[in-house]
């Protein structure tokens, strides 16, 4: 080796052998680092999961749904055309019909209504799917009272029609959950136009609907969910979650562990210096071993965190796992950056003392 310097390949091989030779000590180091990084990742995954569950609840309750109505009704075709607007997820109209009584249940009366196809999706918060033929769509409450199911024939007056779908509207409109609805084309007038917007564009909802039906007498646009229930902003909570800064104390903790490991190997470090390993070579030797531990521990920590989340019944998305991986990886990076400083400091007086002892 020219100039007393060790080659990179020799240092890497030596670091790997040292890690394996230390056996239980290396395993303990690896397990401790895995638990630290896994805890950081798990905190991130749990925080993001809570926020996204809350956001899903908001969406299911109709947080981004707006309802427009006017004194004389709204054009059904105009309402239905909102479905072609990029900012609108779904839209449809609803009109109130007559109170109906079924011959099979003479003591029960139900409110009937007429809806355009998109209204079923907006009012239920689900994808009802295509309706292939004419018939009754029952709210879940009315179907329960009648003990009816899709395929049943219902007699309303002189008409006999099939129940083609049972839909729950409980989350967004409890009253309609006891209605009997018929799906009609976007023709004529509707009493109300319901429109659900994307989360990123819901702020323009009232303005867009007001402009869409401009000129309608007594036009009124209201948010389906009261403003009092929207005091929390999931986007703000996601951006400002404290768990994303867990890499700072986590990285400092891993650096402290590395410092302890370096000090516990003073005699070994002194011997490497005595046989010609320079400070940069020593930094590389310790750094390679540390990166070996941290690299394996980082992967193990992510697997532990995701395993705990799946065991608790959570459903993780790819970007959610990525957030946990980035935060825990940042802790590992912070600790790795500190290695040169720790080696230089730790290999000063401590190594000199160890050499005297030998």
Q: For residue range 129-146, what is the model confidence (pLDDT) as tens digits?
A: 888 778 899 999 999 988
Report in angstroms the alpha-carbon separations of 73 from 188, 212, 220, 341. 9, 14, 11, 74
Under the banding of pLDDT at 50, 70 and 90, the label for residue 282 is low
Under the banding of pLDDT at 50, 70 and 90, the label for residue 270 is low
Helical residues (DSSP H) of 95-198, grouped into ranges? 117-124, 140-146
Query: Which has more confidence, 102 or 14?
Result: 102
Contact at 8 Å (CB) between 184 and 72? no
Contact at 8 Å (CB) between 197 and 66? yes
Instruction: Provide φ and ψ at 64, rounded to 5°.
Output: -110, 25
Asked if pLDDT for residue 348 goes beyond 70, the answer is: no
168 burial type by CB count under 10 A (0-12 exposed, 13-18 middle, 19+ buried): middle
Highest mean pLDDT among 8-22, 52-66, 82-96: 82-96
- Position 4 scores a pLDDT of 42
Strands 153-156 and 105-115, sheet pairing? unpaired
- Position 354 scores a pLDDT of 47
Query: Which has more confidence, 349 or 148?
Result: 148
User: Which of 55-59, 271-275, 289-293 shows the lowest mean pLDDT across its residues?
Assistant: 271-275
Number of other CB atoms surrounding residue 149 within 10 Å = 10
Rounded to an integer, the average pLDDT of 322-333 is 92
Strands 189-197 and 65-75, sheet pairing? antiparallel
Under the banding of pLDDT at 50, 70 and 90, the label for residue 199 is confident
Under the banding of pLDDT at 50, 70 and 90, the label for residue 42 is very high
Report in angstroms the alpha-carbon separations of 145 from 43, 104, 168, 180. 46, 12, 13, 12
Query: Which has more confidence, 335 or 178?
Result: 178
User: Which of 228-242, 277-291, 316-330, 331-345 shows the lowest mean pLDDT across its residues?
Assistant: 277-291
Under the banding of pLDDT at 50, 70 and 90, the label for residue 116 is very high
Strands 136-139 and 159-167, sheet pairing? parallel
232 burial type by CB count under 10 A (0-12 exposed, 13-18 middle, 19+ buried): exposed
Structure tokens at 326: 């980035």
User: Which of 107-116, 166-175, 273-282, 312-321 shows the lowest mean pLDDT across its residues?
Assistant: 273-282
Structure tokens at 150: 């899709």
- Position 23 scores a pLDDT of 67
d(CA 80, CA 66): 14
120 burial type by CB count under 10 A (0-12 exposed, 13-18 middle, 19+ buried): buried
Query: Which has more confidence, 9 or 116?
Result: 116
Asked if pLDDT for residue 295 goes beyond 90, the answer is: no
- CB environment 53-86: b (16+ within 10 A), e (fewer): eebeebbebbbbbbbbbbeebbbbebbbebbeee
d(CA 167, CA 183): 13
- Position 95 scores a pLDDT of 95
Instruction: Provide φ and ψ at 165, rounded to 5°.
Output: -160, 145
d(CA 43, CA 213): 47
């Amino acid at each position: 080796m020219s100039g007393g310097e060790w080659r990179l390949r020799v240092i890497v091989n030596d670091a790997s052998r040292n890690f394996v030779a230390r056996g239980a000590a290396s395993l303990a180091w690896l397990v401790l680092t895995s638990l630290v990084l896994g805890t950081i990742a798990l905190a991130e995954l749990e925080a993001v999961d809570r926020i996204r569950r809350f956001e899903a609840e908001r969406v299911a309750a109709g947080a981004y749904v707006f309802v427009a109505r006017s004194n004389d009704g709204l054009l059904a075709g105009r309402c239905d055309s909102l479905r072609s607007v990029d900012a609108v997820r779904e839209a449809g109209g609803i009109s109130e019909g007559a109170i109906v009584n079924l011959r099979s249940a003479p003591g029960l009366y139900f409110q009937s209504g007429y809806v355009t196809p998109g209204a079923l999706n907006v009012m239920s918060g689900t994808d009802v799917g295509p309706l292939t033929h004419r018939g009754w769509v029952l709210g879940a409450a009315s179907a329960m009272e009648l003990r009816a199911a899709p395929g049943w024939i219902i007699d309303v007056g002189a008409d006999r029609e099939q129940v083609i779908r049972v839909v729950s509207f409980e989350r967004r409109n409890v009253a309609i959950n006891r209605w009997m609805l018929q799906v009609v084309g976007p023709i004529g007038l509707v009493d109300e136009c319901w429109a659900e917007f994307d989360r990123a564009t819901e702020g323009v909802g009232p303005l867009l609907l007001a402009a869409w039906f401009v000129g309608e007498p007594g036009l009124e646009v209201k948010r389906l969910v009261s403003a009092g229930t929207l005091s929390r902003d999931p986007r703000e909570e996601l951006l400002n979650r404290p768990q994303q800064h867990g890499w700072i104390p986590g990285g400092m903790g891993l650096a402290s562990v590395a410092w302890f490991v370096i000090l516990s190997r003073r005699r070994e470090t002194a011997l490497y210096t005595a046989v010609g390993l320079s400070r940069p070579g020593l930094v590389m030797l310790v750094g390679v071993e540390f990166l070996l531990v941290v690299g394996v521990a980082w992967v193990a920590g992510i697997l532990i965190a995701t395993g705990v989340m799946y065991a608790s019944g959570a459903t993780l998305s790819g970007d959610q796992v990525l957030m946990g991986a980035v935060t825990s990886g940042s802790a590992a990076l912070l600790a790795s950056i500190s290695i040169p400083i720790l080696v230089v400091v730790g290999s000063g007086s401590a190594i000199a003392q160890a050499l005297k002892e030998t």
